[in-house]
A and B are shown apart, each in its own frame.
Chain A
Amino acid sequence: MARSNNYITKKTLVFLILIFNLNSLLPQIPGDFPMVTNDDLPGARFYQPRIFNGTSLFGYIDGGAELYLEYGFSMVTVTEIDYMGGKYKTEIYRMNGPEEAFGIFSVSKFRCAGMPPVSDFTCQTKYQLQICKGPYYISIINRTGTRNDSIASLKIGEAIAGKIKDEQINLSFWMPGVPISELKQNCILARGKLGIVNGSPDLEDFFSGASNFTAVIVSGSKKLVAIRFDSGESLEKFLVMHNLKTDTPQSGIRLKKTGDVLLNIEMEN
């Protein structure tokens, strides 16, 4: 009996080392990456994460990788977690910065059932909790869509978000004067053609032919569009393409150029 107990103890120890000591098993995950462990979620079982860096994202989501790469992608960890009686898939995407992370978050969310205060940018739906914090976009997917799943997802999300200390995107820089509550609900950040196609397809043709831009779009009673180009030349090309003039009042549209590369447009809906 004593031997059996010893055996179980050793076996359990090996299991615990194998399953929970993620950092020792997976040195390719940077130390500052917000991985959660049993210390953060007692009783959880973590399966070995899969890691995809740079263009190896094609190996995870194939053509879907293009969107992330267009925004600026660094790495993702994909981990299955058994917790509170349910099964969850967490994806933690580290993008190149807070802007890129918010961009992916903004074009991936849809009709949030709730926006729990896990972070400034959180969207909960029946089967998914999405969080943007600092340079990270986090997706937690459950299988059954129950209340228990929602609660467990929130606990996992809080544990991950709690480890992120990076600064958030400053949307007020893009949209000065627009209430932050409106920005949180109705704002998308699109980068490149795929960003527009996924986030604001009604503007696809407007941006057709434009390149090297990042656009923040707020759809309310009016459509507010702030576009940052990579150069003054790209901005001027865009203005010429649409025959827009920054110094002449134009009906139905207000235009303001800030510095060399930023254009703010207000359109009637």
Chain B
Amino acid sequence: MKRNLIGRRKFFKTLGAGSAVIAANPFIAAAPAKIQEQAKPATNISETSKYPRKPYSMPGKYPGKVVVVKNERSVVDDVPVEEVAYLMLSRSMLELTGQKRLDKAWRLFVSPGEKIGLKVNPVAGKLLSTSHAVVKSVVKQLTECGIDRKDIIIWDRRDMELKDTGFVSENYPGITIKGTEMQDEKGSFTDENGILYGERNIDREWYYWADVDGEYDAETMPYMVNGGKFSYFGRIVTKEIDKIINIPILKNAGGSITNAMKNLAFGSISNTGRLHAQLWNETCAEVCAFPPIRDKVVLNISDGLRGCFNGGPGANPQFICNYNSLLVATDPVALDRIGYDIIAAKRIAEGLQKTPVPESLTFLKMAADLGLGVYEKDKIDLKEIEMS
């Protein structure tokens, strides 16, 4: 009821609220009608409370702290520059941790011998993937602080998208690169027994249950791995890595954004097609509350060198822009809150919307309620650094 009343007011603002014409408009003169909200399907979020939090569970070492480093030289001719990204990352890490030495800053989060997973986002293809400039900078700084390359895994849901976007051994020698959903050299999604390779890569002990059925045809199933009401976490997350460094790219997604939380949530589980329409906000927040994510993510490094302000999560070139920014935080909720402001400001500047839309932040409010981070802007400790 309240939501719709506010909504209608906002609509009339866009038509020039305050004018005599609108003041007399019967839309607002009349009492608003009641719009029934659809009941949300149930999920198994309550199960997360069974698992005690660890000292550095999400939101990590620095709740509510976000560092944004801007550098206008970070993108040249629409290509991110690795040397500049490296410097931006160094500055971010020192600012976030208060350390004077870069290796010490990194060692607050990772230790030699641990398996470190870098969760990138290649879903929009070459045009709008997490940049190699940022990922290579992360790899370089990890190795400089003593992490062996063989202990680094670059991962995402889809092995084929990693390959398409250049996450291959030629570009990352000595580093494991893998996805949950995969094809063999012949392009087949199934082995000689007709079993999806993806099935080997999910962990049926860990799941996000939601009362929405995933019903897919044979062509869709390889991208979902399984149907039904269970979304299983990938084994990469549950078994193969000790720590996660989340490296999303700063994009809008419909009326909201896809950055740290969505990259983790939708990138870590199977059977996601069923979740977009009814449970997008819940999935972004709740999946991150399960221990494989909540207790392993130590850093979020949002690649905002390039990004998009509309048309996301896909890549429409006319909506791709250079934000020239790197956002770093242990707290993904606070990081997404700041990321939202950057995208909303761009959308307003481009005439796509007139004001920020609070409803876009619903998933962050949910995540904050689950104790995953800080959502209120006035409680976020934002450090903005202009390098250029």
Contacts and interface: CB of A to CB of B under 8 A. Distances in A.
Q: Is the interface of A mostly helix, strand, loop or mixed?
A: mixed
B217 interface: yes
Contacts of A58: 220, 223-224, 272-273
B40 to A, nearest CB: 16
Contacts of B317: 125-128, 141
A194 interface: yes
Interface stretch (B5-13, B52-60, B68-76, B169-177): B5-13
Interface in A107-136: 108-111, 125-128
Given A126-B317, A197-B254, A251-B21, A56 B7 contact: no
A54 interface: yes
Interface string B27-66: 1011111010000000000000000000000000000000
Contacts of B277: 66
A204 B125 CA distance: 29
Nearest to B157: A62
B350 to A, nearest CB: 8
B216 interface: yes
Contacts of A208: 3-4, 7, 35
Interface stretch (B229-237, B241-249, B322-330, B352-360): B352-360
Interface stretch (A37-45, A164-172, A176-184, A236-244): A236-244
Nearest to A202: B14
A67 interface: yes
A61 B318 contact: no
Interface in A231-269: 240-245, 250-253, 267-269
Contact of B318 (A55, A56, A111, A201): A111
Contacts, number: 149
Contact of B254 (A55, A128, A194, A251): A194
Contact of B25 (A126, A141, A251): A251
Contact of B123 (A62, A145, A223): A62
Contacts of A74: none
A244 B26 contact: yes
B274 to A, nearest CB: 10
Nearest to A204: B255
Contact of B15 (A65, A139, A201, A269): A269
A62 B33 contact: no
A67 B254 contact: yes
Contacts of A66: 254, 276-277
Contacts of A244: 26-27
B223 A110 contact: no
A88 B226 CA distance: 34
Nearest to B6: A205
A85 interface: no
Nearest to A252: B21
B165 to A, nearest CB: 13
Nearest to A91: B314
B211 to A, nearest CB: 19
Interface stretch (B296-304, B305-313, B366-374): B305-313
A59 interface: yes
Nearest to B27: A242
A128 B339 CA distance: 26
Interface string A142-156: 000100000000000
Contacts of B314: 61, 64
B219 A128 contact: no
A242 B347 CA distance: 28
B7 to A, nearest CB: 3
Contacts of B10: 205
16 contacts: A53-B219, A61-B314, A63-B254, A63-B258, A66-B254, A66-B276, A111-B318, A127-B318, A194-B254, A198-B254, A201-B347, A202-B14, A208-B4, A245-B26, A251-B25, A268-B16
In the A-B complex, the 10 residue pairs with the smallest Cβ-Cβ separation, listed nearest first, are A205-B7, A243-B30, A59-B223, A209-B35, A127-B317, A64-B314, A252-B21, A251-B24, A56-B219, A56-B220
Interface of A: 52-56, 58-59, 61-67, 89, 108-111, 125-128, 139, 141, 145, 194, 197-198, 201-206, 208-209, 223, 240-245, 250-253, 267-269
Interface of B: 3-4, 6-8, 10-11, 14-16, 19, 21-22, 24-27, 29-33, 35, 78, 123-125, 127, 158, 216-217, 219-220, 222-224, 253-255, 258, 262, 266, 272-273, 276-277, 280, 310-314, 316-320, 347, 352-354, 357
